[in-house]
Structure 1
């Protein structure tokens, strides 16, 4: 195995692992935000239901107050009966009392409807409050788990960067500078595996003679198309490198 190529492969594997972890790190706040959004929707539904319940209770109390006022008016009207002097006045008074009683009955019917509605909403609110509490606890546990996972990701990234620094020190400056240039050009991928004579990054065929040289694994070679460093992953030595970093 060409030693410098070995370091390039190690560096690329570490870079690939780090890129995966960086994407995972970026996903964590998005997952937390999605959990918060889901819980907020449920909480909003609960608050809307509670507002509806409170409005029904307030309206019922208002109707009950109106009924009490109407009953007071009926009592005052009845007290006027002995003051009535004509049949016309007496019938007018009776009609006024009847109208007030009709309005009371209508309002009492409305009060019954509001009572039934508030009782139904109260039961729904109780059930929703229990579900909300359950979901809140689950949310806290999920967020804590994501935070722990995020901390582990940060630790792995830091470890990978340490290993990368160690590998970079082993590379000769000229080769590392080329790796760095290619990495910047190709979004972090400067080394490409070749399988069955095809570069797995640009997906173009490697010329037969160069592929034969690649199999010999004696020189540092590049893809003639994308110019990345290339290696044969089926080689036992490179498979061992991948195996060494499988836990990241």
Structure 2
């Protein structure tokens, strides 16, 4: 076999292995991104439930404050009633009665607020219990999915290790200078660095190459490049059919 033909064949094989590695790397990244997204979603769900719990705690605190205020007012009414027994003038008597009435009105409004808080607390507790149950199910589902994704990612990493070993074995068959050339071309072009020429058309940029270059390619006497995209190009024998 012509040496250049063989060298190009090995470069194509190296390129094929690199494509498999890149594909596996992208798959690993995709799996890890999906796992991160699940973790993020779980964190957001936990935050929402935590906010609802905080809101419920605030309602309970507000209820306790109202309850405390109501007890203070009730005690004040008791004291005021006791004072009534010792008043000496009608004016003072009427003043205390007015004070008691105002406290009772205030307490009535507080009791209304307490009832509203109790209803809100009951609704919030029911909602929170439901959300906590849903959260537990969601976290369990996220954990299972994440574990599955990470297992798949680990399999892909093992595949990459195997492919890297294969790449090393294949690369060892070709002159190291051509591996350097391949790496240099890869930096300059997008996609494949080694492409065939079919019917005088570069399969990298899909432009026609000059007839003389097409004839020279068929000699396989040196590595040649597309004059348009600067990829390494080679002739495939089916063009002669």
Q: TM-score, normalised by structure 1?
A: 0.83
1:50 pairs with 50, 53, 64, which one?
53
Residue 32 (1) aligns with residue 35 (2): yes
Counterparts of 1:48 and 1:100, CA distance in 2: 36
How many angstroms apart in 1 are the aligned matches of 2:139 and 2:85? 67
Q: 1:86 to 1:177 in 2, by over 3 A?
A: closer
Q: 1:115 aligns with which of 111, 118, 133?
A: 118
Contact 1:190/1:228 (<8 A) preserved: yes
Over the aligned positions, Cα root-mean-square deviation in angstroms equals: 2.6
Counterpart check, 1:168 vs 2:167: no
1:196 and 1:138 mapped to 2: Cα distance? 55
Q: Match of 2:195, SS?
A: strand
Deviant stretches of 4+, over 6 Å: none
From 148, 151, 169, the counterpart of 2:154: 151
Residue aligned with 2:172, SS:
helix
Q: Does 1:13 align with 2:16?
A: yes
1:105 positional shift: 0.5
Instruction: Give the alignment partner of residue 7 of structure 2, picking from 4, 8, 11.
Output: 4
Counterpart of 2:201 in structure 1 is 198
Q: Which residue of 2 aligns with 1:23?
A: 26
1:189-238 CA distances to partner (integer Å, 9 max, x unpaired)? 42124456433433432234545676x69665432323322246896xxx
> 2-side partners of 1:46 and 1:233: how far apart?
64
Instruction: Give the Cα separation in 2 of the matches to 1:217 and 1:86.
Output: 130
Cα distance in 1 for partners of 2:87, 2:199 equals: 115
1:40 and 1:159 map into 2 onto residues whose CA distance is 36
What SS does the corresponding residue of 1:80 show, helix, strand or coil?
helix
Given that residues 32 and 153 in structure 2 are in contact (C-alpha distance below 8 angstroms), is that contact kept between their aligned partners in structure 1?
no
- Please state if 1:228 is matched with 2:231: yes
TM-score normalised by the chain length of structure 2: 0.85
Contact 2:226 2:233 in 1 (8 A): yes
Q: List per-residue Cα deviations over 1:72-117 (Å, max 9, x = no partner).
A: 1111111112111111111111111111110111000000000011
Structure 1, residues 134-179: CA drift from partner, whole Å, max 9, x if none?
1111111122122112111111111111111111111134433322
Kindly indicate whether residue 61 of structure 2 is the aligned counterpart of residue 61 of structure 1: no
Aligned length: 234
User: Is the CA contact (8 Å cut-off) linking 1:182 and 1:189 kept in structure 2?
Assistant: no
Q: 1:192 to 1:75 in 2, by over 3 A?
A: same
